[in-house]
Chain A
Amino acid sequence: MPSVPPTQQAFLALSGISKRYAGVRALEGVDFACERGKIHAVLGENGAGKSTLIKIIAGVVQPDAGTMRLAGNEVSFASPSAANAAGVVCIFQELSLMPDLSVADNISIASPPRRFGLIDARAQRRRAEALLAEIGCEDVNPLMRARDLPLSRRQIVEIAKALGKKPQLLILDEATSALTSADVEKVYAMLARLKSEGVAILYISHRMHEVEALADRASVFRNGRHIETFDKGMRSTADIVQLMIGRDIATQYPPKPARKAGRPMLALENLSWEGRLDRISLRIGAGQIVGLGGLDGQGQKSLLLALFGVLRGVSGRVMVEDREVRAGSPAAAKAVGIALVPEDRKTEGLMLPMSIADNLAIASLGAISTGPFVDSAKEDAAVKRAIARLQIKIGAPTDPVSTLSGGNQQKVVLAKWLMTDPRIILLNDPTRGIDVGTKQELYRLMRELADQGAAILFYSTDYDELIGCCDRVAIMYDGRIVRELEGSELTETNIIASALNIDATADGGVAHA
């Protein structure tokens, strides 16, 4: 592999870094280096280990093995503040602003200017103004609370906050994802200036055109391993996509039935919400499994929440079996036969301290009640059926659901909704963090439900899974559906290319609208 060898002047050098989370490999023997005065892009698909890498560099998590050198000295950061003290500053994807504090407070939160031991509000304000001016965003009033700013401005504040820490190594993790295009230009100019001042910059972005415009060098990660590092212009976009693909696990998927033209079950027309969903139109027939693909955070989760009645102010039409539906709450969505397996099963899917039986019955209490009282005989029977149907491995139905393994917990969430006999099943990354065996059971179950006439909308961050399970996959980018892939088009190359919103077939040509 034509790798660039780590040079003498490497500012940050990692060697043999490994990290596991609960036995799952996140990083494996990673060697990585970056230099002063260079913008270094880190590329990889979901779960490639990019996030773990920067969390280790920024002191958020500690590696299980390996060493990290900064300017030649071995370092290990116990906390983000220790990393900051060494000049390593990270702008995280999840914003680190305190919503109730003012912009000026937030920017100077760690080491505010002081006078007689107390925070000097005026100096702090001048500092905030100066830093915002450095980015070219003087329009943000430092007195405003972070809470009252739109997301794009909050991200600017986040950048100003990082800038104020005088970074030697600046890490941007998707730090421009919420910015307006005018602001992106300003941030580029700022990065160019920092680069000329000799700051080392690590740039994580899913936007290939940003990487092409900015980066001097790029490293590709896959499955927790560092695959290759190359200088600008040495690889075409198509090459990069190829480097990002490549999987070694072969999971068994249930066979897809020959395509049939089932009656339309769910139809969306021009669904929009708060700039996060942009005129989404999609049709799902009865008996179909439609995947939602794309990079994290392109609106897939919002789309599922919108359909489930969680979001307010959604415009556009939702038709269920040719009848327009306006679900204003999850209860209303349930009433028209929609079920959602939510993103976080521990907080949104389950009531952890309650029993397995209680959790299973909670969404279908109406069906097992006589008058206002839950009929315990009916409940027991229904719970028993659900446990048998999904082959949930439990001790007793009265055990707290928290005692189950992740895979069995997820089965409980799904079983809970199957007890309501839904016509439309929305799945938000249901196989995240569960073992392969249970995954295969879930795939089988999904197909079985589809065969019985349900329409399934399945968001997954795992492309392999989308290809294996879905009849059709809609790829989202920036709140829009950019492409629907079906049949032979449903390949990993196509999914990744569409997810990055580039046209990989046209050899590196970048199509970004």
Chain B
Amino acid sequence: MLDDVAIKVRQNVGIVTAVLLFSILYVLYNLAHPRGFSSAVLVQNGNEIFALAMVAMAQTVPVLASGLDLSVGAVMTMVGCFASYLLTGAAAGAPLHLDIFGLHLALGTFPGGITGILLGIVLCLAIGTAAGFINGCVVVYGRIQPIIATLATGAVYIGIALFLRPTPGGKIDEDLNWALTNSLGDFAATVHIFDDGAAGWFAPIAWIPVPFVLIVLIALLVWVPFRRSVLGRAVYAVGSAEGAAYMSGLPIDRAKIAAFTLAGFFAGCGGLFLAIQTSSGNADIPQAGAYTLNSIASVVIGGTSLLGGTGSAIGSIFGAMVLRVISFFFRIFDIAPLLQPLFEGLILLAAVSIGALGVLRVKNTLELFR
């Protein structure tokens, strides 16, 4: 048994490192913070982490199949813009309309209340998932390298986002915003469950921020089952040795499409939350780019190999949190924000260097180029 544990730790050294790094940094941060270890700080951090954590999970799946997805930031942005139309919390029967270049396009009506909100959420996630599915099809059936295929589709998605929101705007249901961006207690009070959050048994967990709960739920309900499915394993197999995966009779094409589709879903979750959090839709191109690049950094810090085959979306969540915590430090220590990229870069370099140590063991140097 001890052997098994040792093997598991050795195989997941990247994730373990990311978790340790995050824990240390986050404890230090809370110690230094005047209101450290409080629910308010946690809630704020949770809101700041959520979107990047989702985009990092999104990036992980194609990377595991040894492809990069440069459209995750764009999908996030596009879904956010859709959300600013679909989640306005308008009453039942109110027309759903798009305002584009002064045109007022009516797109029919939308149910109101909780049904309307839930339908809006489902639609937003479906849009993200569809965008990912298109990416997968372009890569598999167009036989285009993922990096260039998603560069192109990403531009298209940003174009759609700009089409929807030439300037930042729209609105999000206020209750939805309040319920999802605060603590569990606030959530219960808003949706009127557990005696509006006053139930005795609920009190000990009422302080937990909703975004963290959502991250855990998405990881447990989406990522973990996927990883344990045949398709999920095929994704790992494709990234590890595509030829061997083919010879073993695995569904290679389906695995790749699934990888990009799941990436679209995760990126959609990120975009949905970002819109809810900011109560608006914003086709922010630099922000989309920054999220894409940070997602790659998170994946690497979280112990996933860019060559594919090893790693986990859980690791990437911690990678994203490490990246974010670094920026928290800048806030409390009043360091010039201009220094932030420098430190993020140094941390990324350190994380990547650990992964590169294996090169020293290679006996046939030709293998380094395969």
Contacts and interface: CB of A to CB of B under 8 A. Distances in A.
A273 B228 CA distance: 40
A143 B366 CA distance: 28
B310 A100 contact: yes
Interface stretch (A19-27, A37-45, A114-122, A498-506): A114-122
A99 interface: yes
B11 A145 contact: yes
Contacts of B230: 112, 114, 119
A305 B250 contact: no
A4 B244 CA distance: 37
Interface string B1-21: 001100110010000000000
Contact of B244 (A98, A141, A145, A348): A98
Given A99-B241, A143-B4, A310 B364 contact: yes
Contacts of A109: 233, 237, 245, 248, 250
Interface string B234-255: 0011011100111111100000
A95 interface: yes
B3 A96 contact: no
A105 interface: yes
Interface residues of B, number: 31
Contact of B363 (A102, A110, A273): A273
A348 B310 contact: no
Interface in A52-111: 60, 79-81, 84, 92, 95-102, 105, 109-110
Contacts of B309: 98-101
A419 interface: no
Contacts of A96: 244, 247-248
Given A96-B244, A121-B228, A101 B233 contact: yes
Contacts of A105: 233, 236
A281 interface: no
A268 interface: no
Given A311-B365, A312-B362, A313-B363, A143 B8 contact: yes
B149 to A, nearest CB: 20
A80 B363 contact: no
A118 B225 contact: yes
Nearest to B11: A145
A248 interface: no
Contacts, number: 90
A274 B364 CA distance: 10
A143 B239 CA distance: 19
B229 interface: yes
**Residues of B contacting A: mostly:** helix
A118 B225 CA distance: 7
A94 to B, nearest CB: 8
B303 to A, nearest CB: 12
A144 interface: yes
A99 B240 contact: yes
A30 B230 CA distance: 39
Nearest to B362: A312
Interface in B337-370: 362-366
For the side of the interface on A, what is the size category?
Answer: 35 or more
Interface in A132-177: 141, 143-145
Contact of B241 (A97, A114, A329): A97
B365 A310 contact: yes
A97 B4 contact: no
Interface in B1-58: 3-4, 7-8, 11
Interface in A344-386: 348
Instruction: Tell me which of B236, B239, B248 has the highest count of chain A C-beta atoms within 10 A of its own C-beta.
Output: B248
A144 B7 contact: yes
Contact of B236 (A80, A98, A305, A348): A98
B11 A141 contact: no
A102 B7 CA distance: 10
Nearest to A125: B4
Contact of A311 (B3, B308, B363): B363
Contact of A119 (B233, B241, B248, B250): B233
B249 A141 contact: no
B8 A110 contact: no
A288 B135 CA distance: 58
A170 to B, nearest CB: 16
A333 B244 CA distance: 34
Nearest to A145: B11
Nearest to A85: B249
Nearest to B366: A310
Nearest to B7: A143
A114 B241 CA distance: 23
A227 B11 CA distance: 50
Contacts of B11: 102, 143, 145
A400 to B, nearest CB: 20
A118 B366 contact: no
A109 B252 CA distance: 13
A395 B265 CA distance: 52
27 contacts: A60-B247, A80-B246, A80-B249, A97-B244, A98-B245, A98-B248, A100-B240, A101-B236, A101-B309, A102-B11, A105-B233, A105-B236, A110-B250, A112-B230, A117-B229, A118-B225, A118-B228, A118-B229, A119-B230, A119-B233, A121-B228, A273-B363, A305-B364, A310-B365, A310-B366, A312-B364, A312-B365
Given A80-B247, A100-B236, A312-B364, 19 more contacts: A80-B246, A81-B249, A96-B248, A97-B241, A98-B241, A98-B244, A100-B239, A100-B308, A100-B309, A101-B236, A101-B237, A101-B309, A102-B11, A105-B233, A109-B237, A109-B245, A110-B248, A118-B228, A143-B11
Interface of B: 3-4, 7-8, 11, 225, 228-230, 233, 236-237, 239-241, 244-250, 305, 308-310, 362-366
